[in-house]
Every structure is written in structure tokens, then in C-alpha cells.
Copies of this chain bind each other. A is one copy, B any other.
Amino acid sequence: MTVTGTNVGYDVDTVRKDFPILERTVHDGRRLVYLDSANTSQKPRTVLDAMEEFLSRHNANIHRASHALGEEATEAYEAARLKVARFVGSADETEIVFTKNISEAINLVAYSVGNASTLGTGDPRLRVGPGDEVVITVMEHHSNIVPWQLLCERTGATLKWFDVSEDGTLDMSRLDELVNERTKIVAVAHQSNMLGTINPVRLIAERAHHVGALVLVDAAQSVPHRGVDVRDLGADFVGFTGHKMCGPTGIGVLWARRELLDVMPPFLGGGEMIETVEMERSTFAPPPHKFEAGTMPITEAVGLGAAVDYLTELDRDAVDAHDQDLTAYALDQFAGVEGLRLFGPADAADRGPVVSFEVDGVHPHDVSQVLDAEGVAVRAGHHCARPLHKRFGVTASTRASFYLYNTRADVDALVAGLAQVKRYFG
């Protein structure tokens, strides 16, 4: 792969033309510099078109309808499942459960485990109770914290967590102590949404499996950027979310080893997840349908399928290289900004394309407000990672995040905006 400027493997100017929203301006004609893709990504025309085409030509309910539209809709939905499976390296598309977002995916696992625990029957790996431990990290997004807190509250299990070192990496020194015979589940982010840190998931999974614990990886921030192979990760569950990977809102994914989906009790009850329903009791469909209750986000799955096609065509290594290049460039530029404190790894090679920082003496809300006035969209706040912010002694930070449509000019606009911030609040 040849690396020239930000044009790594593809022409970013051409790519930008695929995203209608990038043509718009904000605040009286300013160019939109969208640096909030870790929050939600923009969508290429092909995704919009796939949804529009589905809605205006093939819309019907799936798996239920015995008519032409119903068959077309079912085929489109199941084709999206297949695409997603291939995209993350699963050879068995029944390992892909569609949810509304990754938050639901994580809750699905936590509730299924909770249900197995309450019923007290079935696979012992899925049962947690007093004395058992669930291990997470201080680096997690709230969506990978709260479901486990609620599970522990319901079952009497204990929540433990990895700390984070000053350099923004996971403190692995207590691995063997934290993940021990009492551990039933380890849930960890593949990439931190605040620090950008990429975690040694495989290493953690090996230890977890050694002690018989199950491993869930929150890949919401990694799947959009780098090639993620669920088998390589060594995890039992991997979640990700459509809207951060060029796909629509309303659709998320849980990948799980089929063998586990087979023994997990259902989560949501309703139409389509059943085998047979009597008033007295019901039996359930095989995975993935067992976990897909009610009418699914059909159009959204189709949109996600189109997003996966788009990313595949662009070439994931090229996207990764592009994002890395921008991150390195931004870190370089940041070094010249006085009073800027960067959170997370200093080297772009150790992190994904999100950079969170503090501007000395100016609150992130004020930083982002001034940037917004310049057309530069960043995120200010705790980014749903409050414990991690607390770990670094702040309540909030400003975060810029890069994706396949961003350019070095976008980074320059950010840096120029920061000068403006200091003029305003200096």
C-alpha cells in the first residue's frame, strides 16, 4: 500500500462525494468539518439508496409473509445477516443476532445470563450468583458498565474491574488476580471511545478461558475502522453498532459462538422467536431467531448490509491506514498547541482515530461551542465514559474523531479552531 498524505489506498475527495451531508454548510455558510464519527458516523449515498429502494419497492414483514414482497424482504434481511457475518469473519451467519444497537446486544447477554441464573437450570457457564464475579474495566462505555451492574444487583454476583494506567493503557499487572476461578464473565472494550486505546483482548480472553469464564468484547469503536475477525479476537461474544460504521441507526449486532446461543435462554419474548406457543408455556426457535423478538429493524438491517458492502469495497486496510494517518497527523499538530493535554496513548500506532483532550482553563463545552461556530463538530462531555474521565481527574473532555471521509484539512481546521478558543477564553 502506498501512503501519500491522507490519500491512502483511496482518494478521499472521491469518497467525500459519496456522503451527501458533507456538502452542507453550518452557521452561515461555513464548511462542515465533521469530527464526531465516534459518536455516530455519516452515511454514504449507497446506504440511503438501499433503504429508500427497500422501502419503496420491497417493503414487507419478514419470515411470515407468503407473498412476493414478503419473500423479497426476507431475502434482503437475511442477505444482510450473511454480509455482516462475512464482514467479521464468521462462517456461520446464524451466529449473527440483530439488535437495535450494541447497548441492547450487551443487555441481551446480561439478561440471558440473569435468566439462566434465576431459573437455575441449564448450562453452568451462564449461571452467576453470590460469590461469582463479573470483570469489566474502568475504560468501558456506560453501555458496557451499567448492564453488568444491574446483573450483579439482580443475582448477587460481584463486579470487579481493571484499572487504567497513566498512559491510557489497561493495567494488565493484576490480570491473574482479577480474572480467577470465581470469574464468570469478562466484558471489555476492544477500543476505548475516549482514549482510543486498543486493548489486548486476546490475552484477556486466554486467561478468561483458562479459568472457565466467558468473554464479551465491545467492538463498537473498532469494527468501523479496522478489520475485526471474531475468531481472532478469541471472544465468546462480540457486539457492534450500525450507526458508527456508515450504517443507519436502529440496528446493532451481537455475534456469539453458536454453541452458546444454543444454550442461552431467550431475552425478549414475542413473535418470531418462538417454536410453539401454548398459553401454559412456549418453546423457542433456534438461533438467531430465538433472540429476535417482534418485527425487526428490517430496513435498517438492509442499510447495514449496504454499509458493509461500502466498507468492503473501499478496502478495510485502506480505511484503517487512512484513519491512522489522520490520527498521527493530529497528534503531531496537537504537540504544537500550548496548554493542550492529550488523554490516551501518545503514539498513533497504539490507538484508534479518536483524540480526547483538555484545553487548559477552558471547559470542553466552551471549547466545542467555539469550534462549532467555526464549523468544526466535536464532542464535549464524558462521552458515556464517566469513570474513565474521573480516573484522569476530569469531569469532561473534548473529543475529535476521524473517519474515512476526513482529511488533513479537517485536522487543520480543528487546530485553527483551538487557537480561536484560546483567543476567546484566553
Contact = CB atoms under 8 A, between A and B. Distances in A.
Interface in A103-120: 103-104, 106-107, 110-111, 115, 118-119
Interface in A8-27: 20-21, 24, 26-27
Interface string A271-283: 1111011111110
Given A115-B154, A243-B295, 8 more contacts: A39-B61, A43-B56, A48-B55, A64-B381, A141-B270, A146-B277, A272-B384, A276-B386
Contacts of A103: 268-271, 293-295
A59 B39 contact: no
A147 to B, nearest CB: 4
B70 A36 contact: yes
A69 B26 contact: yes
Contacts of A422: none
17 contacts: A27-B68, A36-B70, A39-B60, A40-B295, A43-B56, A66-B381, A100-B100, A103-B268, A103-B270, A103-B271, A107-B293, A142-B282, A146-B282, A149-B269, A249-B298, A250-B296, A274-B386
A149 B161 CA distance: 35
A266 interface: yes
Given A279-B138, A300-B297, A274 B59 contact: no
Interface residues of A, number: 101
A107 B387 CA distance: 30
A61 to B, nearest CB: 4
B145 A277 contact: yes
Given A43-B59, A250-B251, A270-B107, A294 B102 contact: yes
Contacts of A70: 36, 377
A153 B146 CA distance: 24
A43 B61 contact: no
Interface in A59-99: 59-61, 64-70
B294 A59 contact: no
Among A59, A149, A368, A379, residue most surrounded by chain B Cβ atoms (within 10 Å): A59
A363 to B, nearest CB: 11
A210 interface: no
Contact of A154 (B21, B59, B119, B274): B119
Contacts of A26: 67-69
A230 interface: no
Interface string A36-48: 1001101100011
B250 A379 contact: no
